[in-house]
Structures are given as C-alpha cells and as structure tokens.
Structure 1
Amino acid sequence: MSQSCSIKKCIRTSRGLCDCCQQNLCLQHLNEHNASLVSQLNPLIDEINALSDCLKTLNIQKTIANSREKLEQWREDCHNKIDCFFEEKCQELDQLINEKVDQQREELKRMHLKMTELMNTQETTRQDIDLLKSTIRQLERNMNNIEQKCFTINTRPLIIDETFVFIKKTTEQELDLSTLSPVCRKITSPEGTFGSLTSNDQHLLIHQEPYLCLFDQDMNIIRQTLWPYDAIRDMCWSSRLDRFIVLEKNNIYLINENTMSIDNVHTIEEREWLSCTCSDTVLFASTAEWGSSIMEFTLLSTIKLIKEWKCPLTCTKDEAINSIVYNHENLALMIMNKSKKSLRIELRYAKTLNRIWLLQLDIRWVQNKAFRCCSLSCNEWLVVDYETGRLLQITKDGKIKKTIQYHPIPYCATLFDLNKLAVSTVNGVNLHTT
C-alpha cells in the first residue's frame, strides 16, 4: 500500500525513502531535498578554491625559516669550535718553536760567557778550543733544524656523523588528561619561589628562590643565575630572539639560555604587566588592571611598542586578562570578571582580536590571583584551576574535553617537548608524560 509524503501538510504520495533523513517523500520534496543538498556544494567549492589559492601563495622559505636558522646556528657553532681548535694548535705550535729558540738562546748566552772568561784570563787550551768549535757546529745544526723542520703535523679528515643533525617529521597526537602519567620527576621549590614557568624544545625555565634555573628534559638543572629583581609575573620563549622573556612588574627581561645573562629590554613605569606570549614576530603582553590592555611589541634587534589594544575591545572595565597564550595565529585569553567573580576562556584572532569562541567556566574565584592556561597539541588548551585544584582540557572549538583533580594545588603548566607536561604547584614543579 502506498504511503503519504512525510512532509507536514503534503498530501502527495511518497515516491521514495530519503537516505539522509530516512523519510518517505514525494517526488517534489525529493527534488527539493536534493536541490538543498546540491546548493551546499557551492560554499564547499569556494573553500577548496580558497585553500588552493592559499597553497599557491604559501611561502615555503618563511615556513622553514626558523628551522633553517637553527641549522645555521649549528653550522656557526661548529665553525667556531673548529676555529677555536685551530687557534689552540697554532698556539701549541708557537710554544714549541719558542721553546726551541729559547734553548739555543740560552746555549749562545752560555758560550758568550765562556768566551768572555777565556778572553779576560788570556789563557786557553787545545781542549777548550776543540770544545768551543764542537759546540758552535752543534748550534749551527740545531738552528738549521729549527729553520727547516723541528716538528711534524699529523692531521685526520673531519668526519661528519649523520646523527649530528637529525630531521624528523613531527606528528601531533591528541592529549588525554585521563591518561596523564603519575609524576615522573619532581622539583621541590624553596619558600619565596614564583610559580611561573615556560619552555622551549630543549629546556624548562623556572624560578627557584633566589635563582632562575634552566632544566633539561630529565629535570636536571644545567644552568642558573641569581634573580635580583621583583616578583616574576609571567614567562615565555621567543624563537625569533632565541631568548626567554621574563615579565616583572614594570619591566621586560631577556634571558640567554646559553649564558643565563639577563638584559632589561623595556620599561614602562606607569603600566604593570601580568601575562605575556610570543608569535614568530610579535610579543604580546597584557596589563595588570581592570579593563586590561594588550600591548604588541616587535621582536627585532630592539623591542619596540607598536600597538595597544584597549578596553572594551579586549574586555570590559570590570574584567582583567589573567593569561594570554599564542598558538597558530590565535590568542587564548583567560578573562576574570570582577563583579560576577566568574572566569572564562576566549579564543581570538591574533591580528584583529576578533572572537572565535567563548567558554564560560564553572569557576567562581575567591583569591585575586591570576588563572593560567597553556596550549596543547592539536590546537587544544589546558586551563589551570587553583581554586578547586583541577586541570581542564579544552578542545580546539571551545568545549570541555576532560577535567581531572590535581594535587597539590596547581598554579601554572606548560607542554614540554610535545610529550611532557610540567605543572607548577604550591610545593614545586611536577613533570608528567602524556
């Protein structure tokens, strides 16, 4: 027996079952349904064409610029080591020649004294004469040897091992907080330590009162330097400058990971800093005030202020930006609301600050302390909740993916070497594998 069309108020007979919606439809509505689906192809075609145009204009040199800089730095370091080794061998050669010459000079000096003695006494023997002649002939031979060759140099060709530089394709794997390993390394921090931390591909930078300390991937301390300045508000790494950036109340400092030297690069007395992050070319810093601003600085030989994004574009007058983190041309902002005692995370386009998504968090803050977040693999985010002692994993489209309790109370976190998560707590820093 024939069925009626499933569309409301349609009295026509069904002509077929639609695979998409599993409804029995008449011919007209089947055609309309099909036309609706076909119409959705046009924007997809536009997106594919846009991606094709993007691929054509892709600047390969810009994409690999940082990696080439790393290879160039490796080459320069190797050249410097060879130059140093060459200078050492030249000095060794000079020392050897000078020792030979000094020996002959001493022998000549001794002969002069002997001759002076004989001339003063006006007495000599055949034996004295023969000995003097023999000594002179030996000195001649020795000096000829010096001029010709008194040493040999043996060299071996420099063999470059392929393992000196290893290039591998990195594949991002989604992190799942529920499978986070137990603490595999732990650093206990002394009283007075600031909880900020950051990392690059090789090292983790943390504060251990009264020092700034650099740790390797096994959490072994490799370098440290005295930190004589005010409280550290935040830290980040700049691949462009090849330096760590440390934010103090009114100052911005650069830290050289090789020497741990500290350089003050920018001071704005009337502004207080709270958080910082870097793109390839720009340093972003948020101000510690209600109605926070976001300041942009160039990352060149000199760091200069180029733009200030102000309230209400950044946030409202009774809100503050606790944390700012850059990843893949976007900025994640942790925004604290003063009147509602609430907290949210927003994702913005770094170039325009236009909002991509917003997620209101189930956190009601009591302590007026900064909430931090960090970027994870696959464009996801991690929010550190010190109020209730939790870590919240946020998807790339702004949804809560996982929430876990964390003890002791966490303050800050950073993804270290892609598969390690470092978390600063009230007691120190914990390292987990992901």
Structure 2
Amino acid sequence: TRQCRQKLEQWRIDCHQQIDSVFEEKCKQLTQLVEEKVEKQREEVTRIQSKLSKLIHEQEATHQDIDILTSTISHLQKEMSNIEQSSIHINIRPLVIDTNCIRINDTNYHGFDLSILSPIYKTINRSNGSSRELASNDQYLLFHDAPNLCLLDQNLTVVRKNLWDHGKIFDMCWSSTLKQLIVIEPNDIYLVNENTMSIERIETIKKEKWMSCTCSDTSLYLSTRVHGSSILEFSLLPAINLIRELKYPDSCMETEDITCIEYNNETLALLIRNHVNKTMRIELKSSITFERIWSLQLDIMCNKEKTIRCCSLIDDEWLIADHENNRLIHVSKGGTVKTMLTYNDIPLFVNLFGLNILAVSVKNFKLNFHKLRNDF
C-alpha cells in the first residue's frame, strides 16, 4: 500500500509541476506581448511628439494642429496604461483530467511468463545504422532511428524526435529524479529532455570509455568499456558529481568486462563477460554496499563483438537478450534460469515498456513489440 500511495503522490507532484510550468510559460508570453504593444505605442508617441516639435519650431503649426496632436498623444498614453485590459484577451478552457489515466486494479498477477510470449503485434522499421539501445519510463520509450532520437508513447506513436549528431550510442536510461533521459556515447554522457527533446552534455562527468548506464532515485551508475571494468556512482541532486568508484577485483576480474548494468529495487544486475574463455555470467550486487548477492553462470559463449544486455522485470526478475543463441533468458529473483525462449530474430536489446509491453530491438534494425499476458 505504501508503494502504491507513493506512486500516486509522485503523480500528483508531477502534475502540479506541469501546471506550474505551463503557468510560468503563459505568464512570460503575456508579459512579452504587453511589452511589445507598449513599445509600439511608445514609438508612436515619440513620433507624434517629434512631429509636433518640428511644426512648432518651423512655426507651421496651427492651434488646431497642436490640439489634434496633443489629443492623440494623450490618447496613446492612456491606451498604454490600460493596454492589458483593453487589447489583450485570454481564453482559458477548464483543465479536464481523464480519471482513467490512473487505473487501480484488484490484480490476480502470476508474474512474467516468457513461455507464453505473444506474437509480435507491431514492428517499427528503422534506418540502417540506427543504434539498438532502448530506455523507457511509464509513458515513453526512447529509441534511435538514424539520424534522430525518437520518443514513443504507449500507443506506439512517435510523439517527439530530435537530431542526434553525437557519437555512437552505447546505452540509455531514464532518471525519474531528473525527469530526463540519459544517453551515453563512447566518451560523453548526455541528458535528453522528454518534453523538448533538447540534448545537453553533462559537464561534470569527465570523458571516459563508457559502456552502460542505469539510475536509482538518488544515483547514476556507469560502467566502463575496458577489461577489468569499473562501476562509478554519481549523485543526481543537487548536482551530478562522482560519489565513489568500484574497481577490479571488486567490480569484476581483470580478465572480465561489464557489458550491462541495470538497477532495480536497491540492487544492480551486472552482465559480465570473460574475454579469455568467452563465458558470460549475471551477478546481482547491492546498490548500497556493492556486496554480491548472487552470481549465475550463463550457457552463453561470447563469440561475437556485440555486447549482451538485459532489463529488469517486475517481481525483481531479469530478462536477457542472448544474441549469440537467438534467445531470451528469464532469470528469477533468486538467480536461477526460469525460462529460455528461442526468438525469431537476433535480439540485441529488451525493454519492459510499462507493465504490458515488451520491446525487443533486433539486429536488422527492427523494433518489435509484444503484448504481455500478465493476467491483470
């Protein structure tokens, strides 16, 4: 109940922030419009005053001319003082909130079942050269369709896009605290605003060989793209600054590299590849102490250059995209393999979009969507 109430409270806070943001924007718009109108009237007053002074100086002004111009100046000055009331109209429609945007269900939830994964119900064909990485929150999914970053809503409609003219994308994630998406390329980290799609480099993070990223409510976690990978933890507020760094052998062995890092419920799931014997394991660590909770050797031989990635599921479980064997692997909360499913393409990235959509990014640049049967 506490978690559900926290989710409702966060929704309330987010809505108030959106209302405040619209209010501030419209106030600025109103102020700008008034200033423009006043400035135009002021210029007209100055022009008439100049004309009147010229006529008087040249002794060509009659009393009638002076009266007319003086009256005009007076009228314009009066209009300037009442311009907001007399010439600007604001039409405001009542804010209608769709109460169906929040659904409270008495669920009979039996968990994620990979064995009954539904057929693909929609595919997005992306441009050749697009990055396959994915990130999402409850409302939007971020993906790359070269040359743009695209934001997809729950109806699987692209609602916003912006040109990505930086380097190759290695990973992306969502920060609920910053309310921004985070995208990493070979050496830099960028923030992407979901409302404007503006892209801004994080200046407080030094250039490094980055591989993967994930966020908790308080921290950003990054792994490095080297043998003997490190895990770096950064604060999110009040500024993004380095808190601590976990180096080998505490992060992984010197012969290993961390290809994926995923946060969920105070834990970090690490996919760790041994570049000597080509094996792969998934390890769960505490995000607070970095202590190992469990480790599972996977039946995967890493012969390809592509990195293997995973995503978190509800119930603290994990889903791995095994492109070496064209499989999806479902790992339990306790660190055992629950199900393995042969996929009809080469899966590179997976992402649980909301509660009932599984997005699978495949090698041929397609983005497939499956509806999940969660018994809600």
- TM bin, normalised by shorter chain, reads 0.7 to 0.9
Report the CA distance shift for 1:107/1:265 in structure 2 as closer, same or farther (over 3 A).
Answer: closer
Separation (CA, whole Å) in 2 of partners of 1:330 and 1:381: 12
> What do the CA deviations read for 1:172-208 (whole angstroms, capped 9, x no partner)?
8533334444333333333333222212233322233
Matches within 5 A, 1:102-251: 116=60, 133=64, 142=72, 145-146=75-76, 152=86, 158=92, 160-163=94-97, 168=102, 174-217=111-154, 218-220=156-158, 222-229=160-167, 231-251=168-188
Secondary structure at 1:81 match in 2: helix
Separation (CA, whole Å) in 1 of partners of 2:315 and 2:333: 7
Separation (CA, whole Å) in 1 of partners of 2:314 and 2:21: 31
The equivalent residue for 1:313 is: 250
Secondary structure at 1:249 match in 2: coil
Structure 1 gaps of 5+ residues are 1-54, 120-128
> What do the CA deviations read for 1:310-349 (whole angstroms, capped 9, x no partner)?
3333333333322110011111121223454332223222
Separation (CA, whole Å) in 2 of partners of 1:200 and 1:59: 17
Residue 269 (structure 2) pairs with residue 326 (structure 1): no
Report the CA distance shift for 1:170/1:421 in structure 2 as closer, same or farther (over 3 A).
Answer: farther
Secondary structure at 2:97 match in 1: helix
The equivalent residue for 2:353 is: 416
Residue 293 (structure 2) pairs with residue 356 (structure 1): yes
Secondary structure at 1:78 match in 2: helix
| Aligned residue pair count | 362
Q: Normalising by structure 1, what TM-score?
A: 0.70
Equivalent pair of 1:357/1:398 in contact (CA under 8 Å): yes
Report the CA distance shift for 1:113/1:73 in structure 2 as closer, same or farther (over 3 A).
Answer: same
Structure 2 gaps of 5+ residues are none
Matches within 5 A, 1:258-337: 258-266=196-204, 268=206, 272-337=209-274
Equivalent pair of 1:252/1:266 in contact (CA under 8 Å): no
Equivalent pair of 2:323/2:346 in contact (CA under 8 Å): yes
- The one of 361, 371, 376 equivalent to 1:433 is 371
Report the CA distance shift for 1:106/1:433 in structure 2 as closer, same or farther (over 3 A).
Answer: farther
Q: CA deviation at 1:220?
A: 1.6
Secondary structure at 2:319 match in 1: strand
Equivalent pair of 1:363/1:387 in contact (CA under 8 Å): yes
Structure with larger Rg? 1
Amino acid at match of 2:135: T
Secondary structure at 2:228 match in 1: coil
Q: CA deviation at 1:239?
A: 1.9
The equivalent residue for 1:52 is: none
Q: Which moved more, 1:362-371 or 1:213-222?
A: 213-222
Equivalent pair of 1:244/1:256 in contact (CA under 8 Å): yes
Q: CA deviation at 1:384?
A: 0.4
Secondary structure at 2:226 match in 1: coil
The equivalent residue for 2:193 is: 256
Q: Which moved more, 1:306-315 or 1:377-386?
A: 306-315
Report the CA distance shift for 1:154/1:324 in structure 2 as closer, same or farther (over 3 A).
Answer: closer
Amino acid at match of 1:353: F
Tell me how large the CA RMSD over aligned residues is: 3.8
Report the CA distance shift for 1:298/1:103 in structure 2 as closer, same or farther (over 3 A).
Answer: closer
Q: CA deviation at 1:102?
A: 7.4
Amino acid at match of 1:303: I
Report the CA distance shift for 1:105/1:210 in structure 2 as closer, same or farther (over 3 A).
Answer: same
Q: CA deviation at 1:255?
A: 2.6
Secondary structure at 2:243 match in 1: strand
Percent sequence identity is: 35
Secondary structure at 1:70 match in 2: helix
Q: CA deviation at 1:392?
A: 1.9
Structure 1 moving runs of 4+ over 6 Å: 58-65, 109-115, 164-167
The equivalent residue for 1:74 is: 18
Separation (CA, whole Å) in 2 of partners of 1:181 and 1:314: 37
Equivalent pair of 1:374/1:415 in contact (CA under 8 Å): yes
Amino acid at match of 2:164: L
Amino acid at match of 2:233: E
Amino acid at match of 2:262: V
Separation (CA, whole Å) in 2 of partners of 1:290 and 1:143: 78
Matches within 5 A, 1:90-105: 90-91=34-35, 93-94=37-38, 97-98=41-42, 101=45
Equivalent pair of 1:214/1:224 in contact (CA under 8 Å): no
Amino acid at match of 2:136: S
- The one of 258, 278, 283 equivalent to 1:346 is 283
Separation (CA, whole Å) in 1 of partners of 2:104 and 2:244: 34
The equivalent residue for 1:51 is: none
Report the CA distance shift for 1:156/1:209 in structure 2 as closer, same or farther (over 3 A).
Answer: closer
Q: CA deviation at 1:144?
A: 5.4
Report the CA distance shift for 1:213/1:316 in structure 2 as closer, same or farther (over 3 A).
Answer: same
Separation (CA, whole Å) in 2 of partners of 1:59 and 1:380: 18
Report the CA distance shift for 1:432/1:91 in structure 2 as closer, same or farther (over 3 A).
Answer: farther
Q: CA deviation at 1:163?
A: 0.7
Separation (CA, whole Å) in 1 of partners of 2:104 and 2:228: 40
Amino acid at match of 1:196: E
Separation (CA, whole Å) in 1 of partners of 2:368 and 2:96: 35
Amino acid at match of 1:250: N
The equivalent residue for 1:385 is: 322
